Amino acid sequence: MQLGLIGLGKMGGNMAERLRRAGHEVVGYDHSPGKRDVESLPALIEALTAPRVVWVMVPAGEPTRATVKELAEQLEPGDVIVDGGNSKYTDDQIHDVMCREKGIGYVDAGVSGGVWGLENGYALMVGGSKDDVAKVQPVFDALKPPTPKDESGQEMPGAGFVHAGPVGAGHFSKMVHNGIEYAMMQAYGEGYELLAAVDLIEDVPGVVKSWTQGTVIRSWLLDLLVRALDEDPALEKISGYAEDSGEGRWTVEQAIENAVPMPAIAASLFARFSSRQEDSPTMKAVAALRQQFGGHAVHAVREQEVERPA
């Protein structure tokens, strides 16, 4: 089928390539002149045959909101917009109302797979009406991983793709997925730190690699940690600053709103905040309190770290 794709970055560009390899026609638009097939959104719409499907793969937030709004003003009844970024599910519900007023379908697709999706396929969590999802299904089928088989050789239908529910359900599912990802990465990181902190373990990368086969904690994330340690065994080339892109925060917000206990995911989110502090004000207060009530020693700030007035 024919697809318009807006956003040809690391994921969008690979998705376009995977779709083309599967025999689909992709008309791509990007702000970067070297990547795009057309020069503007109107030109992209003009290049597509109605009813059109246009997939938005740009950063979440205002870039996506502006793109969807512009498309809704230019597309025609019967066309479908797919948001494949990491938008908050409440944005999807607003976009759906706006599009429905113009007779345009709207589908939200949570996409996981990163830069590896070109070869491995992308896990897809989709929200929208049954009819709108059906219009995009050939694209979903091409993007998702091959159907896996169980130990007996039987195919496992449904793995790698789900129509999770109405509009918003796709990105809500991806939000929870990313919250779990936060906690898993935090656990691997803490395990790595403890291994590296003791003299008893002489081959930390080797221990981590040994976990990748036959253990209950093996995973693709663990494979990626092994890859990182192969490239930099002591992780000396990277700082300990970890950004968060929003989904972890939204997951914790929803946990609070729905009274669902999520201590592991919440702790992993707060750990990312801690990573951005060179000298924690909280721990300064803790040290001061220990000195006040118990006379415990505190470590003075080294002279070279003190900012002196000019």
Q: Active-site positions?
A: 174
Q: Classify the phi-psi angles of 165: left when phi > 0, otherwise alpha if psi is within -120 to 50, otherwise beta.
A: left
Other CB atoms within a 10 A radius of the CB of residue 112 amount to 17
Place of tokens 């797979």: 113
The whole-angstrom separation of Cα 187 and Cα 209 is 15
CA distance 167 to 172: 10
CA distances from 161 to 84, 112, 153, 241 (A): 14, 10, 20, 33
3-state helix, strand, coil in the chain (%, to 5): 50, 10, 40
Angstrom distance (rounded) from CA 30 to CA 157: 34
Amino acid letter at 204?
Answer: V
Do residues 229 and 222 lie in contact, with contact meaning Cβ atoms separated by under 8 Å?
no
Residue with tokens 């700030």: 301
**276 token code pair:** 């951005």
The CA-based diameter of the chain, rounded to the nearest angstrom, is 77
Angle (CA) 111-117-118 rounded to 5° is: 130
Per the CB < 8 A criterion, the answer to whether 151 and 31 are in contact is: no
